[in-house]
Amino acid sequence: MGLAESIILAVLAASTPLLLAAAGELVAERAGVLNLGVEGMMIMGAACGFAGAYVTGSTAIGALCGIVAGAALSAVFAVLTLGLAVNQVATGLALTIFGIGLSGLIGASFVGEKIAAAPHLFIPVLTDLPFVGRILFGQDGFVYLSLALVAAIWWFLYRTRAGLVLRAVGDNHASAHALGYPVLTIRALAVLFGGACAGLGGAYLPLAYTPFFIPGMTAGRGWIALALVVFASWLPGRLVAGAYLFGAVTILQLHAQGAGLGIPSQLMSSLPYIATVLVLVLISRARATAGSAAPASLGLVFVPDR
Amino acid sequence: MRLALERRAERSVAIAIASPLIAIALTLITMTMLFASLGKNPVAALAVYFLDPLTDPYSLQEIAVKATPLVMIAIGLSLCYLANVWNIGAEGQFLIGAVAGSWLAVKTQGTDAGAWVLPAMLVLGALGGALYALIPAICKVRFGASEILTSLMLVYVADLVLDYLVRGPWRDPQGYNFPTTAEFDSVATVPILIEGSRLHLGALIALVVVAVAAVMLGRTIKGFEIRVVGSAPKAARFAGFDADQLTILTFMISGALAGLAGIIEVAGPVGHLQPNISPGYGFTAIIVAFLGRLNPIGILIAGLFLALTFIGGEQAQIAMKIPLDLTKVFQGILLFFVLACDSLIVYRIRLMPSHRRATHGIG
């Protein structure tokens, strides 16, 4: 396997958890809900996903456990922010603190254990093609799933009536309410979907990326996923480009560390975070002139009148 | 029938006073169930967590030591949150403050520098934290970048800066390769208040910070501006208050306080610069700020209470083998309940008949 091929494979693997989590958050934000608890939902997905896969020996059941864990955590968020009209920023932070602690409790007994990594697709002939074979036809299921998910979200948001209603709720909840749409129900469903995706993205880490669980293994990926949604201007297509760009930054800095260029490893490790700040600044500056792309009701509390 | 929120005609004073207590009570009930599910005796566990530290003088001092950084950081954050500015990177500002102050301690090590070293370190620490907090503030004001995300990303960067310095240029040559600087000289150390204890001058500084914040918020125009910009942005614009300027000001104050807390922690209880100088003070302080209802006196009480959970968590780990992560779970649950109870100050929950507009599901 050539260096370029191995780098591309590594980038795909590093990008997938970001893409999964960001795709879910994009739907929640399109419905007008800013859930800052992505990091907490991801790490819970990682802990429960690993626990499920370790106990049953099945990657699929592990992934399912991750999805359920993420969705369960997001349900707490939905009850507080939608049911009790609590500030979304503060609740999201609480969700992250809670998720990190609870995942540590759940995962404590699994630290040091190993599982078989998620199986990779193998199609005779196609997977053996030089260079493109492994990249196109030899990934684990999560990679294909993440891309299919983004395509499905695009189709849902722009080609279905329900998607149109969801965007309307996110852009002007008062009008959507006046038209008779159940704003809070739609938002709750969007939040649950976001939580499920974040849980799946988190589960990807111990199930496919590294075949073991470490407390805090998401290492800020949930926050980067949040930044990716801003980067993508809330458009599903751009989310893919953004996720792969960030995956590339992560992998290239790892290779640069391995090559021993004499640059402090800490500087290289900080690149994904610094890049996130720079990208946010550049995107926000560009938007200041072109008008904001954010859903107009994003992060605002809504209490229906009667 | 369904449950729905209804805005109260006016804020409920009774609930405003009782809300933190209700939240704590609900958290304790949840914790009891959690202890039971872990197979521990809930009564014994709660006693180790919340009562034992209060009965022994050493633990009482430790609570004050742990509350010092929490209160200082939370006071700064409360100014931000009152102004509707979301600095959640206090952890990073804490670390950079520690680094900036430690620079002087490392440079003057082994020289006969006088008593000016510690005050200068404290100033450098506050300055370092303030300048580090200025980055997300400027990104927000000049470019409109979300301060939530930028301030948080800088936490990871600060962590790596600290890691680089103590493993590289500042590492103690006699430290057996451990990632730490040499112990600070006595002129670079925060003085102890009571001989033989760990209670240090920082605790007094934290009290001064609380008093100054109380006066500033209650008695000055700036404090008034902060409240108006946060709670009524339109009115603030008509009054000519500059929201951008307040964003920068509140970020710098909270950064300075976090940085000051950082250098005090390093030059006080820790005694040298090393990784892991903070068990998440910058994040726990967010909970302290909310539990204290963004009020200086409330924050002082909330800081002592959360410091108690740190100490109790450590003792529960030693005495009952309860994982340390349970403290974070506890803090998260507490914040959930605090926020939920606060909502009931403004709203009431009513049981509504569901015959009107069937499309409206949950309320």
In chain A, residues with a C-beta closer than 8 Å to the C-beta of B363 are 83, 184, 304
Mutation pick from A97, A191, A289 vs chain B, by most beta carbons of B within 10 Å, is A97
What CATH number did the domain enclosing A189 receive?
1.10.3470
Listed residue (A84, A31, A53) closest to A192, CA to CA: A31
Asked if A239 and A228 touch (Cβ cutoff 8 Å), the reply is yes
Length of chain B: 363
| B286, B336, B362: residue with CB nearest A76 | B336
Give me the residue from A80, A226, A274 closest to B149, CB to CB: A226
Kindly determine whether residue B139 and residue A220, on different chains, have CB atoms separated by under 8 Å. no
The full set of domain ranges for chain B reads 1-40+327-363, 67-321
Q: Which domain covers residue A63, as residue numbers?
A: 3-290
Interface test with B, best of A79, A270, A271, A300 (most B CBs within 10 A): A270
In CATH, what number does B67-321 get?
1.10.3470
Kindly provide the ipTM of the predicted complex, given to two decimals.
0.87
User: Among all residues of chain B, which has the CA nearest to that of A264?
Assistant: B164
Q: Chain B partners of A89 at a C-beta cutoff of 8 Å?
A: 86, 148
B331–A90: do the CB atoms touch at under 8 Å?
Answer: no
CA distance B158 to A304: 43
Within-domain flag for A299: no
Structure tokens at A306: 């009667």
| Contact at CB, B156 and A270, closer than 8 angstroms | yes
Within a domain: A300: no
CA distance A88 to A93: 9
Please give the tally of structural domains in chain A: 1
Residues of A in contact with B142 (CB under 8 A): 285
Residues whose CB is less than 8 angstroms from the CB of residue B61 and which lie 6 or more positions away in sequence, other chains included: B194, B197, B198, B199
Residue A2 CA from chain centroid, whole number = 30
- Using CB atoms, which residue from A90, A287, A288 is nearest to B290? A90
Q: Which of A97, A98, A264 sits opposite B164 (nearest CB)?
A: A264
pLDDT one digit per residue (tens) for chain B, 363 residues = 677 888 887 777 888 888 888 998 999 999 999 888 888 888 888 888 888 888 888 888 999 999 999 999 999 999 999 998 999 999 999 999 999 999 999 999 888 888 899 999 999 999 999 999 999 999 999 998 889 889 999 999 999 999 999 998 899 888 888 889 989 998 899 988 887 788 899 999 999 999 999 999 989 988 888 888 888 888 888 888 888 999 999 999 999 999 999 999 999 999 999 998 998 899 999 989 988 989 999 999 999 999 998 888 888 888 888 888 888 898 899 989 998 988 888 888 887 776 555 444 444
**pLDDT tens sequence across A27-40:** 999 999 999 999 99
Q: Is residue A304 part of a domain?
A: no
Mark yes or no for CB contact A94/B362 under 8 Å: no
Segment A77-80 long-range contacts (CB within 8 Å, at least 24 positions apart): A77/A35, A77/A37, A77/A191, A77/A195, A78/A187, A78/A188, A78/A191, A78/A192, A80/B336, A80/B339, A80/B340, A80/B343
The shortest CB-CB distance from B143 to any of A95, A230, A281 is to A281
Which ranges constitute the DSSP H helices of chain B? 13-37, 42-46, 52-55, 57-82, 90-107, 117-143, 147-167, 201-219, 221-231, 233-238, 243-265, 281-291, 296-320, 325-346
Residue A301 lies in a domain: no
Identify whether the C-beta of residue A150 lies closer than 8 Å to the C-beta of residue A201.
no
- Compare CB distances from A108 to B88, B323, B352 and report the shortest one's residue: B323
The answer to whether the Cβ–Cβ distance between A93 and B335 falls below 8 Å is yes
What span, in angstroms and rounded, lies between the C-alpha atoms of B24 and B330? 10
DSSP code per residue over A66-90: HHHHHHHHHHHHHIIIIIS---HHH
Chain A residues whose CB is inside 8 A of the B86 CB are 89
Tell me which residue of B6, B7, B66, B21 sits closest to B293, measured CA to CA: B21
CB B179 within 8 A of CB B285: no
Identify whether A295 is part of a domain.
no
Q: Give the one of B88, B343, B357 whose C-beta lies nearest to A85's C-beta.
A: B343
SS3 A208: helix
- State the smallest CA–CA distance between residue A107 and chain B in angstroms: 10
Asked if A86's CB is within 8 angstroms of B339's CB, the reply is yes
- The percent of residues in chain A predicted with pLDDT above 70, rounded, is 97
What is the distance between the alpha carbons of residues A160 and B14, in angstroms, rounded to a whole number? 48
Which chain A residues are Cβ-neighbours of B331 within 8 angstroms? 97-98, 101
A140 bridge partner residues: A120
CB contact under 8 A, A226 and B163: no
